[in-house]
Structure 1
């Protein structure tokens, strides 16, 4: 199974990367977490031979801005979009005139649905739980090809992040804050928080994504995190745009 970090910035695009989107490629499905501007690069990697499932964590613009690029794709096996309860009206407003091409007019089959908190079979197992964030936000856990991948952004430290990450082969969390920084009124994680969640969950690997664009201004800022914490959590992945790993 391959995981490609299409966009790794939080908030807005900079020279360090596009806003958040992660592609997980299994034997039978292409899974995309979030649709920041990085999703526009997905056609460099997807094969068109598998159905595509897109999971939206929440509706802050840096996680949905790339939806306007869906019309460039030719997904012959179709696209299914999933988001949290009560979000259908938001999605229908944003992916519609006058902002972009409506789902019904895309050049491939596309449909959208809401997911309640809990475990679903889509047909692969998916668990979704609310995270701690000013806007309603879901974290996701998927099981594919005998592997577990968990995606948690945006969030502060919370029990559901640990629950979703339990024994995951890859736990992907945000890293909006610099080491030691806190943001109680706008919950996000720093590297120590992310490592704490991964340890409590007994996740095998941890990948950091969603680096605050106003905080991590250069890739050297991210490399400093790698150097500081790779011994503390062996196998730590400090993501950059277009990085592909195998799990």
Structure 2
């Protein structure tokens, strides 16, 4: 598996950047995980919109879905220009029917509801889910292919069930919207110390902090997390690529 970080800001994209969006590739299959504001513009540095094979959505906050509409129009326009491709499957939960219905657009994209209690097979990937602690229904994902495991927390405060769900993952892509002295529980977000402790207890091989705050010294997040977790830690960066 190869992960490329397209956007990593929490809430809204900073200037010339993007909020949540991650490209996961394996065996020639291109899976876009979340599609927040600015993701489509940034994605085109790596992949054309018509070359995406599937999209997987954690929840329906704008910083995770804002560019779904422009992705749909990009594929529509490319169709007008003569390119042929099947309807793009977009997988999301059905607990917000108003937003779920928007995943289907003409014959361009088709929304599919995943079963959070089941296993979703998308191309070469096998995905299981766990509900996060967030103000709206949101699902973390454990994505497996050829014996490698990526866990993406999406948005959540820490919950004990994450430990077993993420056990021994090759990569933990963990939200870290707050610094160690802040309590993220009311907002449904994790701080740096919680992220580090999570990585340590789950015995993951690598930790990437994402969904980052717009203030403060971001390197402090790594320093604070490293007080708990002594493995490889990095901040998410635009176009950062990690091969598992």
Same-fold call, TM > 0.5? yes
Please give the alpha-carbon distance, in whole angstroms, between the structure 2 residues aligned to 1:195 and 1:245: 19
**Other-structure match for 2:81:** none
Q: Is the 8 A contact 1:52 1:78 kept in 2?
A: no
Please give the alpha-carbon distance, in whole angstroms, between the structure 1 residues aligned to 2:144 and 2:236: 22
TM-score by length of 2: 0.84
Tell me whether 66-75 or 55-64 shows the greater mean CA deviation: 66-75
Tell me, what secondary structure is at the counterpart of 1:236? strand
**Other-structure match for 2:231:** 234
Is 1:83–2:92 an aligned residue pair? Answer: yes
**Other-structure match for 1:9:** 9
Please list the CA deviations of residues 47-105 of structure 1 after superposition, one character each: whole Å capped at 9, or x if unmatched: 78976221111111111111122122458365221112323431324x5xxxxxx6225
Aligned length: 232
Is 1:127–2:128 an aligned residue pair? Answer: yes
Q: CA RMSD in A?
A: 2.5
Where does the alignment leave 5 or more consecutive residues of structure 2 unmatched?
79-83
**Other-structure match for 1:164:** 165
Residues 1-247 of structure 1 correspond to what in structure 2 (within 5 A)? 1-15=1-15, 17-40=17-40, 41-46=42-47, 52-70=53-71, 71-73=73-75, 76=85, 78-93=87-102, 103-106=105-108, 110-123=109-122, 124-213=125-214, 215-216=215-216, 221-230=217-226, 232-247=229-244
TM-score by length of 1: 0.83
* 1:39 shift after superposition: 2.6
Please give the alpha-carbon distance, in whole angstroms, between the structure 2 residues aligned to 1:158 and 1:42: 31
Tell me, what secondary structure is at the counterpart of 1:104? coil
Distance 1:47 1:147, change over 3 A: farther
Distance 1:241 1:148, change over 3 A: same
Distance 1:65 1:203, change over 3 A: same
Q: Is the 8 A contact 2:195 2:225 kept in 1?
A: no
